[in-house]
Amino acid sequence: MKIGIDKIGFYVPDLYLDMRKLAVAREIEPDKFTIGIGQEKMAVAPITQDAVTLAANAAASILDETDKENIDLVIFGTESGVDHSKAAAVYVHHLLGLNPAARSFEIKQACYGATAGIQMAKGHIALNPESKVLVLGSDIARYGLDSSGESTQGAGAVALLISANPRILALEDKSAYLTADIMDFWRPLYSSTAYVDGKFSNEQYSFFFANVWQQFKEKSSLTFKDFEALCFHLPYTKMGLKALKPVLEEGTSEDKERLLNHYQKSIGYNKVVGNIYTGSLYLSLLSLLEQKEKLTAGSRIGLFSYGSGAVGEFFTGILQPGYQKHLNTKQHTEMLAARREVSVAEYEVIFQQTLPIDGSSLLSETEKDSATICLAGIANNQRQYINKTAEK
């Protein structure tokens, strides 16, 4: 039985910052951001969006009433959780009106969370072929104003509907993974911004890719010639390339040309969204699939997932016939084009806006947010969410 991605949705907040303008404000040569790390725009999340609303908006864009009835497992991968106890998946389950007969929980391992969710979903569907699983990867990447990682922030969510007989990508069974207890990137419970050792993190990411690729080759006997494209977890769009290039030396000149060409297609959305942590790999997959040029059905795509701390995995999928019919390319292009640019000063104000933590109430201006599902504020230490469609 084939199991894999049947639908894939994406949501980005309606504000962005131009990386060149951020560079000027920080007295950095703009080419460092646009060429050196490969980022053009960075999504900025207003206070009316959090990991829950981003994910709910992404999922709402793909689910129909039959999906809502058949989903019996909701797995929410995030490192921007809104509660130490209650899972973000439960809020999303309610906001989308899913069938109550479902399991819902949150999963955390830095940017690896959604991948763990997908692998778990695959096992669940193997045992329950009629089930559909909603896997969410949703985050707001915050390194801090004027920090070394500031240029690799962003916000957004990817929602994946995993099912039997998937219409987009059938996941294969061979997979290679690696865990090592390292401190390359982390966020203690008391901190709203991440700590990162940028150089070490880049080294480990490349090491993990080389390691899981080697393991994968031994398990599968596949080589680069068996892959049409490779997608990477992308904190910034140059990062995957830095890991790929040395390993790609073992490929032929045709392999290099094909994989490097498709790498450029796989960074399209990431370049103008920024880092969305656990959703980043799947945003890269979406960039590849929604490029204008059609990929051949039956071709193989490799996916490299990396979550600092660290867990890495390399796994693969086969493109399904007619996959393009099940994408929302037009909607995604329009959503990105409709965003409003904020100035650096405006971004700095938004960055510092936080919900009260002393039990007092706050009402947010949800009418300023074009999103259907918003965080309306906080009262009695409880986040208040609204679905504007449901209220009409």
Q: Which residues bind ligand COA (CB under 6 A)?
A: 29, 31-32, 35-37, 111, 148-149, 151-152, 185, 196, 198, 201-202, 205, 235-236, 306, 308
Q: HSE, CB side, 13 Å, CA atoms: give it for residue 391.
A: 11
Q: How far is the CB of 52 from ligand COA (least distance, A)?
A: 22
Catalytic residues: 79, 111, 233
Of 35 and 363, CB closest to ligand COA: 35
Q: Which 3 state secondary structure label does DSSP give 314?
A: strand
Q: How far is the CB of 30 from ligand COA (least distance, A)?
A: 8
Q: How far is the CB of 290 from ligand COA (least distance, A)?
A: 24
Q: How far is the CB of 310 from ligand COA (least distance, A)?
A: 8
Rounded Cα distance between 341 and 252, Å, is 43
Rounded Cα distance between 95 and 93, Å, is 6
Q: How far is the CB of 240 from ligand COA (least distance, A)?
A: 10
Q: How far is the CB of 280 from ligand COA (least distance, A)?
A: 9
Of 163 and 308, CB closest to ligand COA: 308
Of 9 and 274, CB closest to ligand COA: 274
Give CA angle at 190 (189, 195), nearest 5°: 80
Alpha-carbon dihedral of residues 55, 57, 62, 64, nearest 10 degrees? 110
User: Do the beta carbons of residue 310 and residue 110 sit within 8 Å?
Assistant: yes
Residues 6+ apart with CB under 8 A from 127: none
The pairing of beta strand 373-379 with beta strand 362-363: antiparallel
Q: How far is the CB of 192 from ligand COA (least distance, A)?
A: 16
Rounded Cα distance between 219 and 336, Å, is 40
Of 116 and 378, CB closest to ligand COA: 116
Of 163 and 237, CB closest to ligand COA: 237
Q: Which of 74, 110, 79, 80 is nearest to 95 (CA)?
A: 74
Distances 151 to 26, 129, 246 between C-alpha atoms, Å: 10, 43, 25
Of 32 and 94, CB closest to ligand COA: 32
Rounded Cα distance between 8 and 161, Å, is 6
DSSP 157-184: EEEEEEEES-SSEEEEEEEEEEE----S
Which amino acid belongs to residue 85? S
Of 53 and 305, CB closest to ligand COA: 305
The pairing of beta strand 15-18 with beta strand 103-107: unpaired
204-227 per-residue burial string, b: 16 or more CB within 10 A, e: under 16: bbbbbbebbbebbbeebeeebeeb
